[in-house]
A and B are shown apart, each in its own frame.
Chain A
């Protein structure tokens, strides 16, 4: 309010009573004002649901981590710290670091893939925009497992990709994609890249395209304009995409299972094993807590970053 009054005093509105000048902030202000109680009520069920189920399941996992398993495979609660000390096994550290690495690389590749796609659709899509977005999203309605299984067939030694590469001389008989790190990362990117494209697309849609023109006016080439104008203007979308890709990629176990070999096991595979093969739910829970602790650090970084961005934007 103070600011409006100030503007009012500095630039006096034209003294024409027929066309009263309404300053822009006044137009947006009323949206925030009415019925704060209504919004609270609308938010309540979702918030309760999320906190209830998130907190309840977290507590369950945390207490299970201190439990044991009975002969029938039922988890039993207790105070057994063996599961936590078992995490000191260097095997877990290796696997955790590997998962972090794979998830990070997946983020970077997804960024590289998603930027041009989002850019092309948002700024050059024209009347095909919705169709193009649908073309990207609809295949992701198919079951993740089925798609990954299909992908593993595509990448197999006698599969269409390697057969084509061999035919045009880009690969020899010994070339493998499956059971290598490349295969796993290919699977992860294939699985999660859509989570990068959508937020980036949304950010580009919202972006003020006159900034790009301004960049060109200032003699920026296409690459410089992209790097110094488009990327900074859409960095919140990119950050959101990175979180949406990183979190599931870090915990994924299907890609490493179908596309990986003995040296590509990820933390998700170990957790899955504990729950399904060893029936060692307590140790699985302890591993889950470890994974969540690592992911929490990442989330914290993201939240601080977005808060800073918002603070800058509203300054």
Chain B
């Protein structure tokens, strides 16, 4: 993996900078309806796996090795038309506005919402040559909570949330969310700028449900997080840059970003990554084909192409996130050798600490709690 392959502007940076997206969403906001029986019937029709046009691709920036795109374009004689989003909300807003993409990469929570809203085509796994390595190797994804029998999705990446820290400044940590309250790191601690992740760490520390919407629970969570504020330097999803440029001694971080950081660090041994014993939120991005995709056949071919072991390995090395494809585990383990906790195991998935969707009341309560945490 070459450092040039990993510019500092990836997912986290894009999350931080949403100025452009604000303008785009503001102009692109349509108010399309999902209640359309005819649309549902099309959405459930099986897709012929064949080239039916260029691939209109919509993902986080820089989340697939360019060499893999090139291979796909050459082999099937199509073009990949790329666009990027910087948040799941931005992605959904574009879909809601009626924009047409052939392939998108929602997180588990968003896969559930989009499926429930009838926004995704069904994917017949028997038509994908690479499906066996995924569903046979990772039983969890054969029937995940967010999409029964993975009928509309194929898992793309897996990751969990932990703590990245400067070993040279803090030494060893204890492997608990309590480490964020470490006296030595005072004033140099960051948490992610993400509602679910931050409320989630408070809930896990207190032994509460990860995505609780209960007012009493949330009050305890916000109290706990308030006690973290004096130690906190900021809310930022740019974890690895904060560690690299010395602004952070410790930061809540996604395992994939920490793995990506290894390629940039001059001396990786000064950094550490741990996963708290109280539990680590786990997540997964999926391949999905929107119901209004114009070239679903090409999208199916693309998924199959991406699932070829040699391409999976290239992508793992490029983005730093493990992929649930049997036979690629060694590639990832070698990549994150200094941070073995980045590996996502069947046990991690089994613990099922995914962020779940709540009803309107729950979402509102969590929103208010997040405002309290953030605005103090």
**Known interface pairs A72-B34, A75-B31, A86-B368. Does A276 touch B90 (Cβ–Cβ under 8 Å)?**
yes
Q: For the complex, what is the distance from the CA of A280 to the CA of B92, rounded to whole Å?
A: 13
Chain B residues lying within 8 Å of A145, measured Cβ to Cβ, are 17, 19-20
Chain A residues lying within 8 Å of B93, measured Cβ to Cβ, are 73
From A74, A263, A276, A279, give the contact of B31 (CB < 8 A).
A74
Q: For the complex, what is the distance from the CA of A89 to the CA of B369, rounded to whole Å?
A: 11
Q: A260-293 CB contact bits vs B (8 Å, 1 = yes)?
A: 1111010001101111111110010000000000
Instruction: State whether A261 touches B92 (Cβ < 8 A).
Output: no
- Is A159 close to B, CB under 8 A? yes
Q: How far is the CB of B103 from chain A (nearest CB, A)?
A: 19
Which residue on chain A has the smallest CB distance to residue B17? A145
**Known interface pairs A89-B371, A91-B372. Does A272 touch B116 (Cβ–Cβ under 8 Å)?**
no
Q: How far is the CB of A254 from chain B (nearest CB, A)?
A: 6
Stretch from B125-133, B150-158, B228-236 that touches the partner: B228-236
Total contacting residues, chain B, CB less than 8 A: 50
**Known interface pairs A73-B93, A273-B370, A278-B195. Does A156 touch B246 (Cβ–Cβ under 8 Å)?**
yes
- Is A149 close to B, CB under 8 A? yes
Instruction: State whether A254 touches B374 (Cβ < 8 A).
Output: no
Q: Which of B360, B371, B372 has the most chain A CB atoms closer than 10 A to its own CB? A: B371
**Known interface pairs A149-B13, A158-B246, A179-B234. Does A272 touch B96 (Cβ–Cβ under 8 Å)?**
no
Q: B66-96 CB contact bits vs A (8 Å, 1 = yes)?
A: 0000000000000000000001011011001
**Known interface pairs A145-B17, A258-B16, A262-B229. Does A72 touch B235 (Cβ–Cβ under 8 Å)?**
no
- Is B114 close to A, CB under 8 A? yes
**Known interface pairs A94-B375, A276-B18, A278-B195. Does A73 touch B247 (Cβ–Cβ under 8 Å)?**
no
- Is B278 close to A, CB under 8 A? no
Q: A47-82 CB contact bits vs B (8 Å, 1 = yes)?
A: 000000000000000000000110111111000001
Instruction: State whether A279 touches B360 (Cβ < 8 A).
Output: no
**Known interface pairs A73-B96, A86-B368. Does A156 touch B247 (Cβ–Cβ under 8 Å)?**
yes
Q: How far is the CB of B245 from chain A (nearest CB, A)?
A: 5
Q: Residues of B with Cβ closer than 8 Å to A?
A: 13, 16-22, 25, 29, 31-34, 87, 89-90, 92-93, 96, 113-114, 116-117, 119, 187, 193-195, 229, 232-235, 245-247, 357, 360, 363-364, 366-368, 370-372, 374-376
